[in-house]
Amino acid sequence: MAKLPGVTLSSCEKPMPVIGMGTCSFPPADLETTKTAIIEAIKAGYRHFDTAFAYGSEKPLGEAIAEALTLGLIMSRDELFITTKLWSSFAERDQIVPACKMSLQNIQLDYIDMYLIHLPVRLTGTVFSMPVEKDAIEPLDVKGVWEGMEECVKLGLTKGIGVSNFSCKKLEEVLAVATIPPAVNQVELNPTWQQKELREFCKAKGIEITAFSPLGANNTKWGDNRVMDSDVLAEIAKPRGKTVAQVALRWVYEQGVSLVAKSYNKERMKQNLQIFDWSLSEEELEKISQIPQRKGVTLASILGPHDLVLELDAEV
Ligand SMILES: NC(=O)C1=CN([C@@H]2O[C@H](COP(=O)(O)OP(=O)(O)OC[C@H]3O[C@@H](n4cnc5c(N)ncnc54)[C@H](OP(=O)(O)O)[C@@H]3O)[C@@H](O)[C@H]2O)C=CC1
Ligand SMILES: O=C[C@H](O)[C@@H](O)[C@@H](O)[C@H](O)C(=O)O
């Protein structure tokens, strides 16, 4: 398996492999299933893994890394790029370093490569069941939280820091206070939610966009089947002998962004890497640009339709 292309991130030495393996599964997978899938993914050539405190996949990821080292699938942990995320219950100045240490303990690592603020809100108390009560949601103290994130870098707990589900407006707020600017903004991006404005903004600011739910998160509770059932994508895929998933992932890649796609199926995870030796034509790109647009993964669908959440969903 050839090495996957990497992207250079601001204030981060190691390039990030352009495709990462997602680890948020629905229904939630048990530890053994997750661990086995991650080991298969390493065998298939994945070197970038996307986890989060909230997914419950940090522990099995750590076990899979330890086993991959024992099996000799990788020679050193440094060959991997590991992203995890600060859960919103810990999105407070003084809780960030301890939360990052907790994630490191879960993954059994000395450092992570990329630590992201999961959502642009703070949840009061430790909230695990969704949606949450209105009173449990507060606006993010951007200055305090970003200081906490920067402290994680200074302490060597993570190499890079970034955000997730942030609009241009929220990014401006971070940039206004940052000493270390966010390297990554991980957001929903796929042919049915193309994020043109956010892409342009991030490009101008040197922030790498990583697309989550690049296949539209089909068959999950937070996504839908608009990407996988798209006639436009099917018409492009068929004569090329590609799958709809491959056309969707290739399209995302051609937009100049990185992506994290999740598959725990051996064949599909391999298929999702087969997107580098062909390209879409101008005509095909034009057809994809005409696909009707709608955000699939809204904060309201995760947290509940509270005023603050609806306001954040409305920002681009
Ligand atoms: N920062 C954030 O707020 C968010 C981050 N994420 C991250 O992004 C990752 C990817 O996004 P996700 O929401 O999982 O959605 P994806 O768009 O990656 O879709 C995953 C779904 O598609 C299926 N699938 C994967 N490959 C194929 C294929 N080739 N053909 C047909 N079906 C396929 C998977 O099933 P199967 O496993 O059976 O193949 C699964 O049901 C997450 O796992 C998570 O790490 C996701 C959402 C929000
Ligand atoms: O508990 C919260 C959930 O993990 C929520 O954050 C995810 O379902 C989200 O769609 C993601 O994948 O990041």
Complex ipTM: 0.96
At residue 119 the predicted structure's pLDDT band, cuts being 50, 70 and 90, is very high
**What secondary structure does DSSP assign to 263-282, as a single string?**
--SHHHHHHTT--SS----H
Pick the residue whose CA is nearest to atom 5 on ligand 1: 212
Report, as an integer, the average pLDDT of 139-160.
98
> How buried is residue 154: exposed, middle or buried, by Cβ count under 10 Å (0-12/13-18/19+)?
exposed
| pLDDT for the residue 2 | 77
Between CA 51 and CA 57 the distance in angstroms is 6
Query: Ligand 1: does its nearest atom lie under 6 Å from the Cβ of 297?
Result: yes
Tokens linked to 148? 């906490």
Q: Quick check: 128 pLDDT over 70? A: no
Q: Give pTM, 2 decimals.
A: 0.97
Distance CA 258, CA 236 (A): 22
Taking all residues of the chain, what is their mean pLDDT, rounded to a whole number?
Answer: 96
Q: How far is the CA of 219 from the centre of ligand 1 (A)?
A: 9
- 296-314 residue pLDDT tens: 999 999 999 999 999 999 9
Reply yes or no on whether the pLDDT at 120 is more than 80. yes
Which CA distances in Å does 133 have to 130, 140, 305?
A: 9, 16, 10
- pLDDT value, residue 12: 87
* CB-based contact 243:215 (threshold 8 Å): no
Pair of tokens at residue 306: 């509270």
Catalytic residue annotation: 55
Q: Which atom of ligand 2 is nearest to the CA of 119?
A: 6
Please tell me the distance from the alpha carbon of residue 172 to that of residue 166, in angstroms, as a whole number.
10
**pLDDT, tens digit (0-9, with 9 covering 90-100), for 74-108:** 999 999 999 999 999 999 999 999 999 999 999 99
Each residue's pLDDT tens digit, 3-61: 899 999 998 889 999 999 999 999 999 999 999 999 999 999 999 999 999 999 999 99
Does the Cβ of 26 fall within 6 Å of ligand 2?
no
